Amino acid sequence: MEFGLSKNHTNNIKVQERIQIALDWLDSKSTEELLAEKIGNKVISDGVELRFQSYDSREYDTMNYETHREHVDIHYMIKGAEWVRWADEGTADQVSEYDPEIEIQFFGHPKSQHGKALLTDRHYATFYPDDLHAAHGVVDGKIGHNRKVVVKVAIN
């Protein structure tokens, strides 16, 4: 999530170009075309991989937060609704070691405040490597079915 002190802002042109490639690709497709994509992974450019998903939302209490070291995540809702949450690195205890093979580390719920946004059809949220984030949250206390693509943007 882009939020913080302006003195800490770094603009990696290569990463920003890859993010734009992903968003342009997604914008060029209709909802029906995106829903027709096969569940799984699809590389669309060097350093840009799409991971199409189909799942049910879940209760916040059952969720862990996660981070990645080698990529930016863009959570792009094709069809459905979920709460996504984020917090600063260092605000939650780790519940797993970093796994470089699948490029992920899990954390418990933040000890301080966290941000929260409702992700609905054709909306997205971008999470950088120092963002703890949790997705798939139920809306209005009701489990719903979602179709989403998570874009993995390499930072190197």
* pTM of the predicted protein model: 0.91
Map out the domains of the chain with their CATH numbers.
6-154 (2.60.120.370)
| Neighbour-count burial of 146, counting CB atoms closer than 10 A to its CB (0-12 exposed, 13-18 middle, 19+ buried) | buried
Structure tokens given for 123: 């909306």
pLDDT of the residue at 9: 46
CA angle 20, 25, 28 (to 5 degrees): 125
pLDDT in tens, 84-127: 999 988 999 999 999 999 999 999 999 988 999 999 999 999 99
Of 68, 77, 58, 92, whose CA–CA distance to 123 is shortest?
A: 77
Which parts of the chain have pLDDT scores under 70?
Answer: 1-11
Measured CA to CA, the distance from residue 66 to residue 130 in angstroms comes to 10
